[in-house]
Amino acid sequence: MKKVLFTIFAVGGLLTHGTMQAQEDYVKFGGAVRYNIHDKSWNDDKTDPQFTWDTWRLNVDARTAGVDLSFEYRFYPVDNSHFLHHGWLGYGFNEDLYMKLGVSQVPFGITKFASHSWWFQIPYYVGLEDDYDMGIKFDYTGIENLTLNIAYFHQPEPKGSPNYAARYSYDITPSENASLKETSQFNIRAAYNLSDDWEIGLSGQFGSNYNSVLDESEASNAFAAHVVGNFGNGFNFKGEYISYDFGAKDNAGNDLAAVQMGAYGYDYNVAAKADIWVAGLAYSIPVEWGPISNIQPYIDYSVITKAEEGFHNSEHFVPGFLVTAGSIYTYVDWAFGKNNAWVGDQWTNGLAKGKDQSGWDRRFNINIGYYF
């Protein structure tokens, strides 16, 4: 571990051409409160539609002596869970090189989100969109039109309450027959601006899944290619291809076709090896309707094609629109799912083996968030 950190800092030092001037110290506090209204097609107890308190969060951003701090903690009353979203110290060696130490977003694929809707795209639900882990990351912009991100994450973000799965982003969690945890993950991401409106990029992720009973680790990897573009005076397109292999063994030493992953206090199974296809299109419409300044309709679609024989595809389709009114953001979504843990009744194995599902499960959802 010490050798790894020494090498990373040495590379950072070679890329450094001077220190940045100290900027004025500050401390800023913020947060958000969000509410949900939803109606599920698979809910048999007829209690839908429901109005729920989705989340509230606290944010702190600060700087002292040229060192930045960013921290966010979230509470989810419906799930009876709370946990750290992110928390890192940042330092700019110069205008081209910036370091983050702590829990920060993993540089992989489309960042910050591969989605337009409140629902993310399906990579989020297998830990490959808007993922956060504990480690050190360098962002380098010293080459024209190119952004390089290099990171080492020693472990997932720390768990919250009430259990090991209480976290914001999905990670492999220990199960009854597989005492697993993610460790020693390297990420590299390159994004190139073809113009002011179009970005293409490649990402690689290389880590291991450690079994504490076997005292052995199996290699885990993921690769992504992405494109993001603005065109036609208001349109935005996001496209991505991901291939991943979460190598892991159970406590008896057998290769796993599915691994357990968890977030928000819940666990479910995910195919250990698969490809993911992602596409989303949105159109921004400026308006002047009282407090409303913009409406953005969108369509997001993603699918997991699983390598294991007998496993069925998982699909995620979300048409909807975002209404912006100052710092109030309202997402109105019609989410459709097949073998989808969060959209349908296939919770435990929908993203793993699944079933031969002909029809779509549906959830109508309105999320209203006030950010301050």
- CATH number, domain containing residue 85: 2.40.160.10
Query: Positive or negative, the Cα torsion across 138, 139, 142, 147?
Result: positive
Q: How many domains does the chain have?
A: 1
User: What digits encode the pLDDT tens for the residues 335-360?
Assistant: 999 999 999 999 999 999 999 988 99
Provide the token pair at 163: 């259990």
In angstroms, rounded to a whole number, what is the distance separating the alpha carbons of residues 117 and 12? 36
Q: What is the pLDDT of residues 208-224, one digit of tens each?
A: 999 999 999 999 999 99
19, with CB counted inside 10 A (0-12, 13-18, 19+), is exposed
DSSP character at residue 326:
T
Distance of CA 122 to the CA centre of its chain: 10
Pair of tokens at residue 313: 């595809």
Strand partners, 113: none
Neighbour-count burial of 255, counting CB atoms closer than 10 A to its CB (0-12 exposed, 13-18 middle, 19+ buried): exposed
How many whole angstroms separate alpha carbon 360 and alpha carbon 339?
9
pTM of the predicted protein model: 0.93
Q: What is the mean pLDDT of each run of 10 residues along the chain (372 residues)?
A: 43 41 85 95 73 96 98 95 98 98 98 97 98 98 98 96 95 97 98 97 98 98 98 97 98 98 97 98 98 98 98 98 98 98 95 94 97 96
Tell me the per-residue pLDDT of 265-294, one tens digit each, with 9 for 90 and over: 999 999 999 999 999 999 999 999 999 999
**Using the 8-state DSSP alphabet, how is residue 250 labeled?**
-
Q: Which residue has the tokens 């629109």?
A: 321
Domain hosting residue 272, numbered range: 2-371
Residue ranges of alpha helices (H) inside 257-344 are none
Non-local (6+) Cβ contacts of 43 within 8 A are none
Task: Give the span between the Cα atoms of 356 and 136, in whole angstroms.
Answer: 42
